[in-house]
Amino acid sequence: MLRFLLNRAGQSVILLFIVTVITFFLINLAPGGPSGVMRMDASEAERQAMIERYGLDDPVVVRYGDWIFNAVQGDFGTSFSSNQPVIERVLERIPYTIELSLFTLALAISIGIVLGVISAIKRGTIADYSINFISVIGLSVPAFWLALMLIQWFSIQLGWLPSSGVGARGENFDLLNWLSHLLLPVLILSTTILPNIVRFTRSSMLEVISQQYIRTVRAKGAGERTVIYVHALRNALIPVITMIGVLMPRLLSGAVITEAIFGWPGIGTLILEAAQSRDYPLVMGVTVIITSVVILSNLIVDLVYSKIDPRVKNIS
């Protein structure tokens, strides 16, 4: 296991390096460059002052070397648009995205696995067709359109749920208010991964329950629940868990749209702000943090995988 962790750590460092190189050079070589953050009516003197302040007149290779040297020490630079340290802006927003993502994962995984198992054991029935139909609809309907429809229905017409914001926090925290603000964003974000979990669980369960050892367990007189939930489901979850790790980038990309629509002050809205203002230190900082989160989530998935499947405990 130690060898595996060291191997993954080395791969992660290389991946982060490649991502930062690609992102940094794409931003700096784009028409206008980072100096495009200046407003249109800025004078030439103001533009020149900004270029000198941030060293934008240095060669791009030199600027990347300076950035990577500081980043290794935890300094991702200063945001062009707010003059705050990038790490402070990211740390202010990331708890909201983590909160939204964790609840979305919990909802999508629990419901997705249950529906996938039902669809598999009820293969060819109305329940199976209904679940498959709903999954196809979930894959086909754009998340932004569904979000606007739910806001129109639950927030504007019925007035049951707030249309944006995160609710009162701190001393004024109210549990029901917090849940009411969280419900719609979690429902919308879960649609980005829930249909995939349902369909993948169904496919994996169908493959497992057709195996010879499942027939042997049934022949020994084991109850159907024992067959399904003790013997079949554990093995069926192995590829599903791997697939959940693959879906993490899709979850984070869906958070950009969801957070923008619901006014959720997380990393997603910060990405949009950074891109619109051409704030390249902020773009770089957010890119590194998101890449690190994806790498960490895949590492956790691999560790869980090794616990569920004894055959890969000595993975290297």
Residue 27 lies in a domain: no
Using DSSP's 3-state secondary structure scheme, residue 1 falls into: coil
pLDDT at 280 over 50: yes
Residue 19 lies in a domain: no
Q: Which pLDDT score is estimated for 126? A: 92
Angle value at C-alpha 80, between 77 and 82, nearest 5 degrees: 100
Residue 60 lies in a domain: no
Contact call for residues 268 and 109 (beta carbons, < 8 A): no
Residue 25 lies in a domain: no
Residue 223's domain comprises 86-312
Handedness of CA 47, 48, 52, 55 (dihedral sign): positive
pLDDT at 155 over 80: yes
pLDDT at 150 over 80: yes
* Cα–Cα distance measured from residue 229 to residue 241, given in angstroms and rounded to the nearest whole number: 16
Residue 242 lies in a domain: yes
Angle value at C-alpha 99, between 268 and 12, nearest 5 degrees: 70
Mean pLDDT computed over 279-287? 83
* Cα–Cα distance measured from residue 294 to residue 245, given in angstroms and rounded to the nearest whole number: 8
pLDDT at 35 over 60: no
* Cα–Cα distance measured from residue 41 to residue 114, given in angstroms and rounded to the nearest whole number: 57
Residue 17 lies in a domain: no
CATH number of the domain that residue 298 is part of: 1.10.3720.10
Residue 253 lies in a domain: yes
The 10s digit of each residue's pLDDT in 185-200 is 999 888 888 888 898 8
Residue 76 lies in a domain: no
* Cα–Cα distance measured from residue 188 to residue 67, given in angstroms and rounded to the nearest whole number: 37
Mean pLDDT computed over 97-126? 88
DSSP 83: -
pLDDT at 106 over 60: yes
- Token match 């629940």: residue? 225
> In the structure, what pLDDT confidence band is assigned to residue 227 with cuts at 50, 70 and 90?
confident
More confident residue, 279 or 68: 68
pLDDT at 42 over 60: no
Q: Which pLDDT score is estimated for 315? A: 47
Give me 219's structure tokens: 């022949």
Number of domains forming the structure of the chain: 1
